[in-house]
Structure formats: structure tokens, C-alpha cells
Amino acid sequence: MKHKFKNLSREDKIFYSVTYVLMTIFFIVVLYPCIYVLSASFSSGDAVQAGRVVLFPVDFSLDGYRTVFSYGQVWVGFRNSLFYTIMGTAINIIMTVAAAYCLSRNDLPGRDAIMLIYTFTMFFSGGIITSYILIKKLHILNTVWCILIPGAINVYNMIICKTFFQNSIPGDLLDASQIDGCSDIQYLIRIVLPLAKSAIAVQVLYYVVSHWNSYFSPMIYLTNQDLYPLTIFLKSILVQSQIDPSTIMDPELQDKITRIAGVMKYALIVVSTIPVLIIYPFIQKYFVKGVMIGSVKG
């Protein structure tokens, strides 16, 4: 029942006006800094340094991006982050789906006990020191494994996935396929996975984002610079402002580094954030289906 605006009661007119104004203000508050960062990254070093950028790029220039791409550490970090993200997510998906599938089957003896083992870890943990000792004892400190393996299953994600399997895949399918002699693993591969594309797409999104943005584990577990993900380099550049001119491969940019440090940071913010923003639209259409069924009914 939608009415034309002018036909609404006075009270409703006020209500809608206030709502629209408030929503628009919030929208601008969120959007404006994003546009500002983007514009600053395309401005000249001097314009950024003098604080002349307000909304649009001033003295359009690609110096920021040229510096970022000729900065050695950025490449090392990008390569490593890409590796951790792809490998890590593959491990996550296999482990999470395996656990979620088994725990979604109510004909699994001992299911509740196993579930309890998982849920308890959501509320209580051993903490960082004991995990550190464990990683050290396993001799995987300072290797790629200490980034890939801890966190292989995020219990919260696993429960979302399990709930999706339980609620969106009709139980009759299981009975029918069992009569036809389908084994449990065949059922997972042939029936469950094709029907759970949206849930898995969302899992991929969650895990990809968390790997790409991960900072804590690499910081405490890695000391070898060659294994550092992008976030560790980002910390020294963006947060501590430690820019090492000697790692810039372009001599022309090296000379004016003090002038373009600011614009380089903006460009780096854009470059390091774009990869996760790019995958979102691809997965967005599954988002509501995959997450909501899992969480709302959970």
C-alpha cells in the first residue's frame, strides 16, 4: 500500500522528511572520507601536503601510484598476501564444509557432543601466549604454516554453514539418495555442494577478507621479512610513517619522497583495499541468501 507523498498525513510527512534527512546525512558521512581518500590519491604531492584537497583531485597526478608500484616491499607483501589468501581460504573451505556437513546430519551418533566441543571454543580460549608456545613447539613458527593452519575453522562461520545445510537442503533428498545407495561422501559432493553454492560463496568472502586483512598472527608469528603479508608493511608505512627511500626502484621518485609521502599513503590505502572490494559484488547476490538463512534461524 504505497501512497503518493502529498496524500500522507502531516505526521507521516514529517516522519519521512526526518528519516530521509538523517539517512542522507549518515550516507554522506560514510561516503565523504572515502571520496576524499580516493581524490587525494590522484592529487599531486604538494597539493596533499598543503591540505588543498577537499573533494576532487587537485593537480591530477599519478605520482602516488607510481611510488606505490615502485616500492619493493609492496610487491613482496602483495605476493605473500595473495598466497596466504588463496591457500588459506582453500584450507578453510575444505575444513569448514567437512565439519559443517557432518554436524548438519542428525543421523550422526555423537553429534551433540562434537558440536559442544566446537561451540565451547567460541566463548573460552587459551589466549595468545599458550597459542604462541604451541606454534613454537610444533616448529612452524616463522613458516607459512603458522599463518595458514591456526584459524583453519572459524567456528562461527562453520555454524552458519551448518545451519544452512540443515535448513535449506530438504531431508527427503537424503532418504532418497540413501535408498539409491549413495554414500555419505557422494551425497556431499553430488547433492549438498551444488545446492549450497550461496552458502559457500559467503564463506569464501568471509575467509578471503579475514586473510587479506589479517595482521595479528603475522605480527606475532613471523620475523622473516620475506614472509610478511602486505598488512605488516602497511603498518610501518601508514601507521609509523617509516618509508625507506632505498626500496623505491624509480630514482626520480626517490628524490622527491618527502614531498610525495602523503599522496603515496593515500594511493597505498586504495591499492591495498581494492582487492577485497572487487570480490564483493560477485558474491553480493548470494549474500542475503547465504548469511541470513544461516544466522537468522540459527
Partner 1 sequence: MIKKELKKAERKRLLKRVGNRWQLYLLLLLPILYIVIFSYVPMGGLVIAFKDYNFKDGIFGSPWAGLENFKKFMTSYKFSTVMINTLTVSLYGLLVAFPFPIIFALGLNAMRGTGYKKIIQSVTYMPHFISTVVMVGILFQVLNNRTGLWGTLYSMITGGIAPNILGNAEAFRHTYVWSGVWQNTGYDAIIYIAALASVDQSLYEAAEIDGASRFQRIIHIDLPSILPTASILLILSAGSIMNVGFEKVFLMQNNLNIKYSEVISTYVYKIGLASGTNDFSLSTAIDMFNSVINFTLLMITNWLSKKLSGNGIF
Question: Is residue 14 within 8 Å of 22, Cβ to Cβ?
Answer: no
Residue 216's Cβ-count burial label (10 Å; 0-12, 13-18, 19+) is: exposed
Q: Applying CB under 8 A, does 182 fall inside the site for partner 1? A: no
**Binding positions for partner 1, 46-65, rule CB under 8 A:** 48-54
Compute the least distance from the CB of residue 90 to partner 1, in Å: 14
Residue 239 or 251 having the CB closest to partner 1: 239
Compute the least distance from the CB of residue 253 to partner 1, in Å: 19
Q: Applying CB under 8 A, does 114 fall inside the site for partner 1? A: yes
Residue 124 or 179 having the CB closest to partner 1: 124
Point out which span in 163-171, 190-198, 252-260, 268-276 binds partner 1 (CB under 8 A).
Answer: 268-276
**Binding positions for partner 1, 121-140, rule CB under 8 A:** 121, 123-134
CA 238 to chain centroid: 19
Question: Is residue 35 within 8 Å of 55, Cβ to Cβ?
Answer: yes
Q: Applying CB under 8 A, does 99 fall inside the site for partner 1? A: yes
Q: Applying CB under 8 A, does 273 fall inside the site for partner 1? A: yes
CA 136, 82, 34: angle at the middle one, nearest 5? 115
DSSP 3-state assignment of 275? helix
Point out which span in 63-71, 101-109, 168-176, 243-251 binds partner 1 (CB under 8 A).
Answer: 101-109
Question: Is residue 207 within 8 Å of 220, Cβ to Cβ?
Answer: no
Residue 131 or 167 having the CB closest to partner 1: 131
Which has the closest alpha carbon to 243: 251, 254, 252?
A: 254
Q: Applying CB under 8 A, does 105 fall inside the site for partner 1? A: yes
Compute the least distance from the CB of residue 224 to partner 1, in Å: 17
Compute the least distance from the CB of residue 191 to partner 1, in Å: 14
Torsion on CA atoms 7, 9, 15, 16, rounded to nearest 10: 0
- What is the Cα–Cα distance from 93 to 38, expressed in whole angstroms? 33
Select from 65, 207, 266, 286 the one that contacts partner 1 (CB under 8 A): 266
How far lies 203's CA from each of 140, 216, 283, in Å? 26, 21, 10
Question: Is residue 209 within 8 Å of 88, Cβ to Cβ?
Answer: no
Select from 9, 172, 194, 226 the one that contacts partner 1 (CB under 8 A): 9
Q: Applying CB under 8 A, does 25 fall inside the site for partner 1? A: no
Residue 27 or 282 having the CB closest to partner 1: 27
